[in-house]
Structure 1
């Protein structure tokens, strides 16, 4: 499709190009931001919306569809120009909802010049790139292709169109200083989703937020070996037309670590799917909880059977950052919850899932074996059920006795023996495993579990399942994808210490699952700003700003205990309330923040 012609009064068309390392390249949360926002951006911009990302053949083969005819694109001449320079430029559709047009740069086609490019960055902008990680070299080559592309685009089309280039994170932003210095006719927006230095400092310096104003950014960046990344990030923040971040929490970091107060806050959203029938999300919860029940039976019932009707499933998930993600606080709160439930003689069980990615050898064979033997018990019971059913029917039809016959008489000796032997093989006196995989080495979660004695002891009311891998539908333990697993749980627990935004609690809300967050996460801070009675809507916020670790752990344990004490009816009501506010976070409502940043960038670049 062609873009529309300029109007009769020769008003320039506005064209938006979003640029990110995670465009068509799933690495972390920014991929979710970009991908889920696409339909809303296409709705506003139509064919005047494009994306730029790096070309990786493996991901491109699944998510990218080439366009061979360049004549219909405003970018066509520029793409052909770069190709004539011997550069690898792929143009086509990104195969996600909205099917936007995308340009993927094969930065390897320029990689032989990376040392020359690094020398230029030092000469022009004093960006030191000595002994950097390989990823920095790749982003510099990627950034040079972005610079060449936008410079050519500005020369060729800058008189006809108003371009906005929206850069996400330092990995896409090495071109910004040169675009500014060269006066390229492109308006620029830069968004940092988490400051590079903040992530390192928060995980290593106690009371990080209280000390923000005391840090010397360059000294700290050199200490952690990330001077190049932080310098790129600072220059992008200071030299773009508009600098933004995702939350007020991160805005404070930007002020002290990047030397720039953000112009705007751009909160993150999702594509929210609402069901026309109110009960449908409850039905899905029940269906997926049944599949989690299957795992729990296979994992725990070998030695510790308990009543699944009185069992609650809590979970936390995300990148493995033990303190930043609040895994330490969660474990301490669970230890306290365990003691409180024992003292109060609460006849319920909490199974807490930790879902994160850590190095492992394989799934623990003992965990797989237990599940396999349980499946064999199920198959044996089904065979007995069929045999009993058929014989019961014949006996009932042919008898004059109105009493229910003894069903044991209908089971062959073979099936009785097989069932007895299978159960005997399965049962054990050993404690259920805490971790489902064979870790390459123990980590903070396992160390804390041992210290707190949350080892799945028989009398524990709180059981722990540590799953150090992503949950996907091909997983032999759950057979669920992550979204289905979330729906099947009762509560998401995310009391982060460092969390610039926090998609995990937002994903809970989108699926009608109550959640706990913290006031140091961007999401939690945002909830407190927009909703006074957020607790009534199934969102609890742990105070980590003014409380120390033990005070926050006690508050979190009380929140968990309050949830445990709810009746089933109260939990259903709360899920309905959570689901009812999910529209608040749909991109159709949050895109307006992005619209404002793009308008402001155009306004600022014009003389």
Structure 2
């Protein structure tokens, strides 16, 4: 599979494209990034023949969706607007408007709750026609089934309004919208259907619970396993969607195997994911942004560590990993093992410098650790005191210099009032402590069962002064409102030196790609869709700052040693070499732009149009 240089425009001028996803104006998972970031490139090829379809949830839609009022809707003559008006005439609660993202795409949102009175009939037909069972007490499944029923009606109305030779393509993402597909096919609705699974639902559960998932994949009996994990309904929906689609696709060569063994259909195409790289481009400013946000990370590190002991921040490398808390799937276990080995190597080497590793994920917690908040507040007070002393000394030094005939530098200490000297001394006394810096920033609901904490405790990687690798576990999102970091996640990424994502199970993997888009080197694995794509399509990828840990043909120990070697070599880079590498990463990010990768989607659409 080779990266195409560009995508042709326009695509299938006699076709309309409706892209259906649960994450349209509804940020609940990684597919939100796929859909949102792809919009500008998709609209280049489809323009006003493109429309998104998703569920209407008022709280999420308020900040992302701008609905047309009745007058605006009445003036529109395109098939999407006509279909919405027709559905309203039939009594359905349907909104047409724009998604407030780059490209401002036409978007239809349908309230799933309006179909709840028909849930009994919907569930009966799903079982009677397609053998899809539904429990009575699962509201998410009820939302999904209600939306699928309404999405089917919208597409049927749209298809009835389309005048030949114009045709309709409907592209469904994941089982949560794919539930509409079996009904569309049974009713012989003249719509050309594409279905994409971004990760098989059963595959994700099995990988989390089986350390040898890939070796056992061929022996899996899907129905008993789905019942074991209590996901029979969702998996049955996924299988029905995969078999009902004219064109079945997935996001990486890795997930092709899952689809074959867990869904019993070979995908017709692989649709790799990209980003709208323009959103991340900072031009010649990106190195300055790294310095700016690294300085904010310095502030956090000083507040977190310097009350116990200090180290040279100019000789400190910042690493991070992030994502859902899936200890095995996300490779947190492999990362921690490699960090422990790296710590030992650095201690034995006698080399200068330290590594601070951030784990950014989401876990249930009761509060931020009060001592950490207090340390940050006291450091802020130290900063304010130093600035006050600086202003006072500056003014008095300037006066002394202008008035003096002596060319020697005066005693600066004598220029500071006793008040500021006392405040400076007392502030430092209240800050310094003999206790070790905490490994975790928050108080978890159940830290005794947390795998990350249990590993660092057993490995003794608990931020001793002699540890050359320091751990900061932050079980919450990084945001500007956080009293610890006070910046966006993207800014935090720019301030770090390397992202570490050696996943065991990752159908695609946006986190390393987001690093690359921001000019930050990243480590991925050959068991992630992104890593697999890089190995197949990006020549000399390590020179471009993308490292791929081999996990397919190696055991845990071998992969941990390879990751340790990668981290060791990265830490040994000089500052100039790291700058050059960031330049390489930033200049090659264009490879992963949607305007280059969109062609895979368009080929799937053309294939769907060929099939009846």
For residue 5 of structure 1, what is the aligned residue in structure 2? none
Match of 1:19 in 2: 20
Q: Alpha carbons of 1:597 and 1:277: their partners in 2 closer, same or farther (altered >3 Å)?
A: closer
Separation (CA, whole Å) in 1 of partners of 2:282 and 2:309: 38
From the superposition, tell whether residues 277 and 36 of structure 1 become closer, same or farther in structure 2 (CA, over 3 Å). Answer: closer
Do 2:156 and 2:189's aligned partners in 1 also have CA atoms closer than 8 Å?
yes
Aligned twin of 1:70: 73
Task: List gaps (5 residues or longer) in structure 1.
Answer: 1-10
Report the alpha carbon displacement of residue 242 of structure 1 after superposing the two structures with TM. 0.5
**Match among 405, 426, 446 for residue 400 of structure 1:** 405
Alignment of 1:6-405 (within 5 A): 13-68=14-69, 69-71=72-74, 72=76, 73-130=78-135, 133-157=138-162, 159=164, 161-273=166-278, 279-405=284-410
Q: CA deviation at 1:273?
A: 2.7
TM-score, scaled to structure 2: 0.95
- Partner of 2:278: helix, strand, or coil? coil
Distance 1:158 1:229 in 2: 35
Task: Supply the distance in 2 between the matched residues of 1:342 and 1:132 (Cα, whole angstroms).
Answer: 55
Q: Closer, same or farther in 2 for the Cα pair 1:327/1:37, shift >3 Å? A: same
Distance in 1 (CA, whole Å) between partners of 2:280 and 2:191 is: 42
Of residues 108-117 and 13-22 in structure 1, the stretch that sits farther from structure 2 once superposed is 108-117
Q: In the TM superposition, what is the alpha-carbon distance from 1:156 to its structure 2 partner?
A: 2.5
1:165 partner SS: strand
CA contact (8 A) 2:281 2:518 kept: no
Q: CA shift at 1:210, angstroms?
A: 1.1
Cα displacement string for residues 33-54 of structure 1 (whole angstroms, at most 9, x for unaligned residues): 0000001111111111100011
Q: Is contact 1:87-1:110 (8 Å) kept?
A: no
Bigger drift between 100-109 and 444-453 goes to 444-453
CA distance in 2: counterparts of 1:295 and 1:67, whole angstroms: 45
Determine if contact 2:20/2:53 at 8 Å carries over to the other structure: yes
Asked whether the 8 Å contact 1:88–1:107 carries over to 2, the reply is no
**Per-residue deviation at 1:83?**
2.2
Distance in 2, matches of 1:174 and 1:501, equals 23
Task: Tell me the equivalent position of 2:492.
Answer: 485
Structure 2 CA distance for aligned equivalents of residues 365 and 61 of structure 1: 34
Contact 2:385–2:423 (CA under 8 A) maintained in structure 1:
yes
| Corresponding residue of 2:4 | none
Distance 1:458 1:183 in 2: 69
Mapped contact 1:338–1:461 kept (Cα < 8 A): yes
CA contact (8 A) 2:281 2:517 kept: no
| In structure 2, distance between residues paired with 1:110 and 1:403 | 85
Task: Tell whether the 8 Å contact from 1:170 to 1:229 is kept in structure 2 after alignment.
Answer: yes
Change (3 A) 1:275 1:106: closer
State which drifts further: 262-271 or 133-142: 133-142
Query: Matched residue of 1:535: which SS?
Result: coil
Deviates more, 1:210-219 or 1:70-79: 70-79
Q: Report the equivalent of 1:437.
A: 442
TM-aligned CA deviation for residue 388 of structure 1: 0.6
Name the structure 2 match of 1:7. none
**Per-residue Cα deviation, 1:524-580 (whole angstroms, up to 9, x for no partner):** 000000123111111111111011111111111111011111111111111111111
Asked if 1 retains the 8 angstrom alpha-carbon contact of 2:254 and 2:532, the reply is yes
Q: Give unpaired runs (5+ residues) of structure 2.
A: 1-11
Structure 1: 4+ residue segments shifted above 4 A: 274-278
Structure 2 partner of 1:454:
461
Rate the CA distance shift 1:597–1:276 in 2: closer, same or farther, 3 A. Answer: closer
Which of the numbers 539, 542, 567 marks the counterpart of 1:560? 567
1:276 Cα deviation after fit: 8.6
Secondary structure of the corresponding residue to residue 70 of structure 1 = helix
SS at match of 2:337: helix
Instruction: Please state whether the residue corresponding to 1:534 is helix, strand or coil.
Output: coil
Shift of 1:12: 7.4
Q: Do 1:303 and 1:431's aligned partners in 2 also have CA atoms closer than 8 Å?
A: yes
CA spacing shift, 1:512–1:276, aligned 2, 3 Å:
closer
Structure 1 position 80, deviation (Å): 2.6
CA contact (8 A) 1:322 1:444 kept: yes
| Deviation for aligned residue 1:131 | 5.0
Say if 2:533 is the partner of 1:526.
yes
| C-alpha distance in structure 2 between counterparts of 1:12 and 1:574, whole Å | 43
Q: TM-score, normalised by structure 1?
A: 0.96
Asked if structure 1 preserves the Cα contact closer than 8 Å seen for 2:51 and 2:80, the reply is no
Query: What is the aligned-residue RMSD (CA, Å)?
Result: 1.4
Partner of 1:4: none
Partners of 2:373 and 2:358 lie apart in 1 by: 17
Counterpart Cα distance in 1 of 2:520 and 2:144: 38
